[in-house]
Structure 1
Amino acid sequence: MTKHYLEASEYLYNYKHAPEESSLCALEQRTLFGEESDNLIKSTIKIEPSRSPFIKGGRLSILFSDKSVQAIAEQVDQIELKNQSFKVRFLKINDLSSKQKIEYAEQRMIESEIGWKINGEAQMKNPDILFGIVPFEGRWYFGTYQESEPVWLHHVKKPKEYSTAISTRLARTVINIAVPDPSGLRVIDPCCGIGTVLVEALSMGGIQIVGSDLNPLVVQGGARENISYFSYDGIVEVKDIAVEEGHYDVAIIDMPYNLFCQATPEEQYAIIKHAKRIADRVVILTIEDMDQMILMAGFTIVDRGVANKGKKGLFSRQVIVCE
């Protein structure tokens, strides 16, 4: 019998979002996977589940797929565990209708049926390998399961904060939209403020990002202090985007609008124009309609979404992807 060494080529991601987050979540999904879904996305694209605040639970790396649990059970003895302990978990986020829902007792039976067929030591607490099984689109999927961690929640409380700064949750989503695949890309946040975007990008690892802001107070006593507080290593300069000489693959710009850094329409346009000069792809966050400015600067708007704050969406930011 051919042994299976836990290698996967397809993945299932569990998504969940509040109604007011639907536009933003859909934009992130389109950027990362090229499709949208209310709960589950199956893709050949592999990402760390903790990257997204909308991935609830984690990522299933698919090892086997079949029409029934019994058919899956007949295949799992192919798995080579190399003396590692394991646990099987029924994943509750699935696409079953309310009439098809599998109750708790049956979920445990499914886990047991699969577990008995795996050659290895079952361990309920802290297993070496966590397996998952889930029904989706009329089939059953089984594989290794990696749980997500809400990393951004650890960054909510910072030494320096502004009431108008974007949330860590939004910052993390914007990074995914701006840099779906960070391999070899150079990224800049040239209006970084207190560094919320920088902290989230640095926490993901593998993203080459630098920050700058023309306000020395928010750079020295804001962004740098916040980055250092979370033990990340990032470069933040006191610099106006107008004098930025480097060229980047991506720029992320949260347009200035608060009391610390008011910007006139002329200054807003200048920021967008300079962003076009220094970066190939730009993601703009704005509370105002800036489509005309963006088009005048020579950009094409390739996608967009809305980040609503609160269930009634009384405060919204547009997230605009420009190339």
Structure 2
Amino acid sequence: MFEMTENRIARLYNYACHEDEAELCGLELRVLFGEKPEAGVVAQYRQNENDSDRPAISVSRSPFLKRRMDAAFRSATLEGLAGPLGGWDLQGQTFKVYYTVGDERHSYEEKRAIERQAGGYLLGKADMHAPMLKFGVAKYRGEWLFGPCEDNDGTWLSHQAKPQNYSTALPVRAARALVNIAIGPSPHDRTFIDPCCGMGTVLIEALSMGVRAEGIEINPLAARGARVNLEHFGYSGNAVVKGDMTEVSKQYDAAVLDMPYNLCSVLPSEEQYAMLMSLRRMAARAVVVTTEDIQLRLMETGFVSSIARC
């Protein structure tokens, strides 16, 4: 009735988003996990014995992910978890069990009963307020899954309170998702550029994920404001350089280019083309944020485009 999860589900991720962010959320999750997510849950499967080809995604990377649960044990029935959990040595650490969303919905009363039942199989002391260990239990694809869980710590929300800001700056949630779309599942071996970084909204999100990121800004006042913002959150202001993106010769793995200029002024077509050509030269993969349809222009510069309207 019980066996360790091998070549099956490795992890479950719960996510949530406002309907206005549904397309952005869906695109981000498809990039991070390589498949279209189900309603409220994304599953990662073990592809081989050590699961080396499917690295775990930090739940706090995304503004939409809420919880990650590693599927350490599985059973066809909830009662089938009793044996293995009862033999699990928690080494005196306190614990709490959290009902985790799968593909089967339960009422509030059922969720609490499931938590109590699964927690009752563990030999140790439960702590509802400050547990040393957190476990999740979920019903998914006809099986009960149990294992360590982690919730999004939300530390990135503090980036909403930047000392310097633009009224037209991207929201932090959108900026964080755009960085994930640009760099993909593995951030630590990627180089990143924000070639029109403004006050550093996107750049701060990239740096907070451990990405080797830099920003360029042609406006000296904005560049100064970006440095103030970076230093406010503990990052080096040297990550921002005053300059023109069309003069950059360095190459990067990924980029995010925010082009909201037509909100306040008209960007001449030739300048837009020059910026996109420079972007194509400096980054093999890029996310372009714009208020107009520039798909043909992107194709002219050599990009193979994928569009999400958000």
TM-score, normalising length from structure 1?
A: 0.85
Aligned counterpart, 2:102: 94
Cα separation, 1, equivalents of 2:153 and 2:262: 32
* Alignment check: 8 A CA contact 2:9 2:43 kept: no
1:211 aligned to which of 208, 211, 215: 215
Distance in 1 between residues matched to 2:256 and 2:124, nearest whole Å: 48
Residue 189 of structure 2 aligns with which residue?
184
For 1:80 and 1:267, how far apart are their aligned partners in 2?
Answer: 64
- Cα 1:123–1:264 change in 2 (3 A) is same
Secondary structure of 1:253's match?
A: strand
- Deviation track 1:50-82 (CA, whole Å, cap 9, x = no partner) reads 1111112x1001111222110122221242323
Provide the residue aligned with 1:154 in structure 2: 158
Looking at structure 2, the residues matched to 264 and 40 of structure 1 have their Cα atoms a distance apart, in angstroms, of 43
Q: Does 1:77 align with 2:78?
A: no
Task: Give the equivalent residue in structure 2 for 1:130.
Answer: 134
- Distance in 1 between residues matched to 2:91 and 2:265, nearest whole Å: 58
Residue among 46, 49, 62 paired with 1:52:
62
Which residue of 2 is the match for residue 199 of structure 1? 204
Letter in 2 for 1:49: V
Letter matched to residue 30 of structure 2: R
Q: What does 1:264-275 align with in structure 2 at a 5 Å threshold?
A: 264-275=268-279
Query: Displacement, 1:83?
Result: 2.5
Q: What is the aligned residue count?
A: 292
Cα distance in 2 for residues equivalent to 1:273 and 1:248 = 14
- Tell me how far apart the structure 1 counterparts of residues 247 and 127 of structure 2 sit (CA, whole Å): 59
Match of 2:235 among 232, 235, 238: 232
Instruction: Indicate conservation of the 8 Å contact 1:256/1:262, yes or no.
Output: no
Cα–Cα, structure 1 residues 191 and 30, in superposed 2: closer, same or farther, change >3 Å? same
Query: Is 1:223 aligned to 2:226, yes or no?
Result: yes
How is 1:102-117 mapped onto 2 (pairs within 5 angstroms)? 102-104=107-109, 106-117=110-121
- Overall identity of the aligned pairs, in %: 39
- Aligned amino acid, residue 186 of structure 1: T
Moved more, 257-266 or 145-154: 257-266
Give, as a single letter, the amino acid of the residue that structure 1 aligns with 2:57.
Answer: I
Which stretches in structure 1 are left out of the alignment for 5+ residues?
308-323
SS at match of 2:234: coil
How far off is 1:291 after superposition? 0.9
Partners of 2:216 and 2:227 in 1: CA distance: 10
Paired residues of 2:12 and 2:68 also in contact (CA < 8 A): yes
Partner residue in 2 for 1:32? 32
Q: Residues of 1 paired with 2:278 and 2:208: CA distance? A: 27
Partner AA of 1:77 in structure 2: G
Deviations 1:122-163 (A, max 9, x none): 222211101111112322111111011223321112211111
RMSD, aligned α-carbons: 2.0
Deviations 1:231-284 (A, max 9, x none): 223510001011112111111111150677752111111011011111111111
Aligned-partner Cα distance in 2 for 1:80–1:233: 44
Consecutive unaligned residues of structure 2, counting only runs of 5 or more, are 46-53
Larger fraction in strand: 1
Q: Which residue of 2 aligns with 1:321?
A: none
Aligned-partner Cα distance in 1 for 2:170–2:104: 35
- Aligned runs of 1:279-294 on 2, under 5 Å? 279-294=283-298
Whether the 8 Å CA contact 1:160–1:194 is kept in 2: the answer is: yes
